[in-house]
Chains A and B, each alone.
Chain A
Amino acid sequence: MTQPPAAPLTTADGVPLKVSLRRTVRRSKIKALLLVAPLLAFLFIAFLMPLFEMLWRSVDNPEVSTHLSRTVSALEGWNGESLPDEAAFAALAEDLRVGQQERNLGLLSSRLNYEKSGMRSTISRTARRVGTLEPPYRESLIEVNDTWGELDTWKLIQREASPYTISYYLAAIDRQLSPDGEIAKVPEHMQIHATLFWRTLWMSAVITGLTLVLGFPVAFLLANLPTRHSNLLMILVLLPFWTSLLVRTTTWIAILQSQGVLNDVMVALGVIADEARWQMIHNKMGTIIAMTHILLPFMILPLYSVMKTIPPSYMRAARSLGGKPFLSFRRVYFPLTIPGIAAGGILVFILSIGYYITPALVGGQSGRFITNYIAYHMQTSLNWGLAAAIASILLFVVIICYLVFNRLIGVDKVKLG
């Protein structure tokens, strides 16, 4: 016996309920999106576009293809086994002549100099004399500078004619392309970036470990004290958290430098001789001490908020079942704190590998981070492509850590004091 199909439920004005509900949901979705839209648009323009632009700059390679356009097209089809023909040399002379007139050979010569040292002076010397050169250009260019007689120079120009390059990334990990296009290590004395990457990761791990060791007992104490007392002690954690980063770095300079408070106290107490003051700053130690201090609250706060949710009765139960204190702690309490350790650990690690100010002020030569090299290439050596490549690698590492963090904890669970 089949029932006749029931009439669909409708709202008062006769629209089927399903349709009406879907319409309402869609309307509130649009409303929610409209509320978020201005902020998304703002961040897209002011933050994400700059980031993409930077990523792009790390592979962008316009110099050779724009400033040596004639040479590049003359080299098309060149097999690279012997020096190119007269046409290519003539094109080079013409490119350099135009470049010299328009005064835009600087970028080109820096770019080629990254790949082959000496190219900067080769180009500027040739460009200065190019007006007086007579054909055949092949002989006269080689006469001005031997570099034009080298096969490698021409191979380099041909290779860098491509609008994109991976050589900034290679340079960021201390590699370079050989003239034959193979990836090789740069000479030993020029290998700095890989060392700095490892040092940054290693020191950040040490700092993370130290903040955990120092922060764990404090978080435990704060979570287990009666609220009245823990609120008071919490101020001791929050005050440094809220204090300017530069203030905290300055105080460590005042305390740790060789004519500083700590050394003076040690000398006054007779622990060390006046001539044998400790060098605690402008080296690795300075960076580690100051950054541990600065990042400690970022470890304590997540640990505290996790420990706060562990009922004290668990430990009591473990004890009443005969567990010795250490065993009960290790088997019952500690495993429950692992989410907090993960949150604090990843947070401190992410913040630490991106730190710039503190290592720059108290790190000296040996306590420098990779971030200090980004700044160096941005501001001093002006090798922006390399700076962008290093920054992109660092960004990649941070994003990986962040994704792990988000997977484990969820970013909206971060408590800010």
Chain B
Amino acid sequence: MAIPSYATRGERIWHYIFLAICGLVFLFLIGPLLVIIPLSFNAQPYFTFSKEMLTFDPAGYSLRWYQDFFTSSAWLNAIKNSFIIGIASTLLATVLGTVAALGLSSRHMPARGAIMALLISPMIVPLIISAAAMFFFFSKVNLAQTYVGVILAHTALGIPFVVITVTATLSSFDTTLIRAAHSLGANPTRTFFKVVLPLVTPGVVSGALFAFITSFDEVVVVLFIAGPEQRTMPIQMWSGIREQISPTILAVATLLVLLSMLLLTTLELLRRRSERLRGLSPD
């Protein structure tokens, strides 16, 4: 955003003030995530920088919280649970959501608005309400405190993300491509696998990623309907923050920041790939 050549002095000053304000907001956004990374290497069991850390004394730094994390059976079990529940609910949500999105993007879909609103509702209803409602209902049908119960609940929460991303991908899908493929002699099966699928996959994959991260980061529903056997990572963190504030949580937090960086990169690569396949970007 360059300053136009006709800008007055006042406008120039304002422009720099504006940039400074934006800088501060970016700092507010990203600063906390950056603070936590060095803190997780603290040799002392505190949530703040020790004198040794500030003078870059190697004695002030240690990997003890990471070691603590990787040797604790409670944490490892929580990771295992998070992955079991996350993967199962993602698979379920992706299959159901993608099939539904195919139907929703049909030109002849009746009552599309109402159905869409219904499918999105798990995203809109506050988690505490979903959690309370599922607790009542799942206790009644003996699904509370079971893996199946938690997986079904997380599937419901992940579905809106799959439906939204896949519908968005399909709505920008150019159907002339199918006719073009036919005219070039491809049969329907070949067209589906060579033309439709590669174009739709990025939407499905990013929907699945959204669904996975929703499950992986979800606390409230698990808090209400899971039993001690289904303790997930977020629950372990939640009780860690509430009960004994141990810096192991900071190590976990750092690992999770790295995970979100990885995820963001994956999504960005997917976006670029789909743009390239659609011929929207030059490279």
Contact = CB atoms under 8 A, between A and B. Distances in A.
A251 B122 CA distance: 28
A218 B19 CA distance: 9
A47 B220 contact: no
Contact of A28 (B108, B115, B167, B237): B108
A239 B217 CA distance: 15
B16 interface: no
B269 interface: no
Interface stretch (B64-72, B73-81, B130-138, B194-202): B130-138
Interface string A17-59: 0000000010011011111101110110011111101100100
B249 A250 contact: yes
Interface residues of A, number: 88
B49 interface: yes
A214 interface: yes
B18 to A, nearest CB: 6
Contacts of B137: 49-50, 53-54
Interface string B3-25: 01010000100100011011001
A36 B115 contact: yes
A9 interface: no
Contacts of B91: none
Given A33-B110, A417-B267, A254 B30 contact: no
Interface stretch (A71-79, A90-98, A153-161, A354-362): A354-362
Contacts of A42: 96, 155-156, 159
Given A233-B26, A254-B35, A57 B21 contact: no
B26 A236 contact: yes
A293 interface: yes
A411 interface: yes
B1 interface: yes
B87 interface: no
A258 to B, nearest CB: 10
Nearest to A41: B96
Contacts of B168: 412
B130 A47 contact: yes
Nearest to B223: A375
Nearest to A412: B116
Contact of B33 (A46, A53, A240): A240
Interface residues of B, number: 93
A388 B132 contact: yes
Given A236-B30, A243-B260, A33 B96 contact: no
Interface stretch (A142-150, A188-196, A259-267): A259-267
Interface string A373-392: 01100100000100110010
Contacts of B46: 259
Most chain B C-beta atoms within 10 Å of own C-beta, residue among A48, A293, A325, A357:
A357
B216 to A, nearest CB: 8
Contacts of A374: 128-129, 132
Nearest to B6: A319
Contacts of B32: 240, 248, 251-252, 255, 293
A82 to B, nearest CB: 41
A116 to B, nearest CB: 26
Nearest to B218: A245
Interface stretch (B55-63, B97-105, B172-180, B181-189): B97-105
Nearest to A24: B108
Contact of A39 (B11, B99, B217): B99
B39 A254 contact: yes
Contact of B108 (A29, A361, A399): A29
Interface of A: 25, 28-29, 31-36, 38-40, 42-43, 46-51, 53-54, 57, 214-215, 217-218, 221, 224-225, 233, 235-240, 242-255, 257, 259-261, 264, 293, 296-297, 316, 319, 325, 350, 353-357, 361, 371, 374-375, 378, 384, 387-388, 391, 394-395, 398-399, 402, 406, 411-412, 414, 416-417
Given A47-B121, A250-B237, A257-B47, 10 more contacts: A35-B102, A47-B156, A243-B257, A244-B234, A246-B238, A247-B252, A254-B35, A255-B32, A261-B47, A357-B219
Which 4 residue pairs of A and B lie closest in terms of their CB atoms, listed nearest first? Answer: A354-B126, A35-B103, A50-B137, A32-B106
Interface of B: 1, 4, 6, 11, 14, 18-19, 21-22, 25-26, 28-30, 32-33, 35-36, 39, 46-49, 96-97, 99-100, 102-104, 106-110, 115-122, 124-130, 132-138, 140, 152-153, 155-156, 159, 161, 163-165, 167-168, 210, 213, 216-217, 219-220, 224, 234, 237-238, 241-242, 245, 249-250, 252-253, 256-257, 260-261, 263-264, 267
